């Protein structure tokens, strides 16, 4: 793997990291959490646009820039997967980097990283782990790596892997369950005990990448509504009709399973999963990208390119005063499309 040099510059109290090609581990800097940084990480989250990765109140400059980036949340900070392909034509090995709330970076070593994608790594904002599949010829194992010390926990028994050593599959992690690919279905197990939890027939199209902490987004066969379904007992928590006339084509569930967001052409509709109450966030029509912060605030990019954060409970959005030219990349939570 090609390593790349870093340079740290302090600008107006924010740490900006200049990366010549991709993120690698900083040396000589202590790794610690600062309460103000932690609060900013939870409230502002992490997102990428125009060559800059924003994590809480810190900015990390990525030269290149990358063409395929995935961001996910853990309790130790944001995990950033970079495919290694860059717009300037430079091609490197994929990298996986932990960016702490204080803006420090450290490389995370995962076996066979060239064989996976960012969606094949399971994380949860409340946990210090990254879950992935360790493959061998004919079998695969679910592994949780502890980001605090690099130790690994193998969960459950080996399961068949008809694809051999290669291939990538969506993986999902929650405080109770890990969802993993099985040859003929999606399997789940309680990762703390190794107990296999059967994947239920939820009565529709259940996309594996739409797995939230304890809920999953389901599109029934008639494709007329989204359902938020509890993965443990199969209870339908929320039903939302798909408003195709309003160009409602995708929706997302917040990392804490509390909010269900549905962009429409006239605004952004947010549903409280517990109560069913609906709030329309005004002034954010034409949302082109939707993501979440660890504490359930929304990260949005509108048609004018301005990035905003929104509080669903208060029904209020605030501008970051950053207008982007290119695509916004942010953690999408449990995501589902209506085809």
List the chain residues with pLDDT less than 50: 1-33, 164-168, 205-209
Question: Tens of pLDDT along 84-102?
Answer: 766 566 667 788 899 999 9
pLDDT score of 294: 93
Q: Which CATH superfamily is domain 204-337 in?
A: YVTN repeat-like/Quinoprotein amine dehydrogenase (2.130.10.10)
pLDDT score of 95: 85
pLDDT score of 293: 94
pTM of the model: 0.81
270 neighbors 260 (Cβ within 8 angstroms)? yes
pLDDT score of 16: 38
């Amino acid at each position: 793997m090609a390593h790349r040099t870093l340079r740290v510059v302090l600008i107006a109290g924010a740490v900006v990291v200049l990366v010549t090609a991709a993120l690698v581990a900083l040396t000589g800097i202590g790794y610690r959490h600062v309460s103000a940084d932690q609060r900013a990480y939870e409230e502002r989250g992490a997102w990428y646009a125009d060559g800059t990765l924003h994590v809480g109140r810190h900015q990390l400059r990525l030269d290149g820039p990358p063409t395929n980036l995935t961001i996910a949340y853990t309790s130790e900070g944001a995990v950033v997967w970079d495919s290694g392909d860059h717009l300037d034509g430079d091609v490197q090995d994929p990298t996986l980097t932990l960016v702490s709330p204080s803006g420090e970076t450290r490389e995370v070593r995962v076996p066979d990283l060239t064989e996976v994608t960012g969606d094949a790594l399971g994380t949860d904002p409340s946990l210090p782990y990254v879950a992935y599949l360790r493959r061998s010829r004919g079998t695969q194992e679910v592994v949780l790596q502890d980001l605090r010390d690099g130790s690994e926990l193998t969960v459950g028994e080996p399961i068949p892997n008809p694809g051999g050593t290669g291939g990538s599959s969506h993986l999902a992690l929650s405080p109770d369950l890990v969802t993993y690919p099985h040859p003929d279905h999606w399997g789940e197990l309680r990762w703390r005990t190794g107990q296999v939890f059967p994947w239920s027939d939820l009565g529709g199209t259940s996309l594996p990448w739409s797995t939230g902490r304890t809920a999953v987004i389901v599109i029934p066969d008639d494709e007329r509504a989204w359902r938020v379904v509890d993965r443990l007992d199969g209870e339908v928590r929320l039903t939302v009709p798909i408003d195709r006339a309003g160009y409602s084509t995708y929706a997302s569930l917040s990392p804490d399973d509390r909010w269900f967001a549905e962009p429409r052409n006239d605004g952004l509709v947010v549903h409280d999963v517990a109560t069913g109450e609906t709030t329309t966030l005004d002034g954010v029509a034409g949302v082109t990208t939707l993501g979440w912060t660890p504490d359930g605030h929304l990260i949005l990019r509108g048609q004018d390119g301005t990035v905003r954060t929104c509080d669903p409970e208060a029904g209020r959005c605030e501008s970051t005063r950053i207008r982007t030219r290119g695509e916004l990349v942010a953690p999408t939570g449990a995501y589902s499309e209506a085809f």
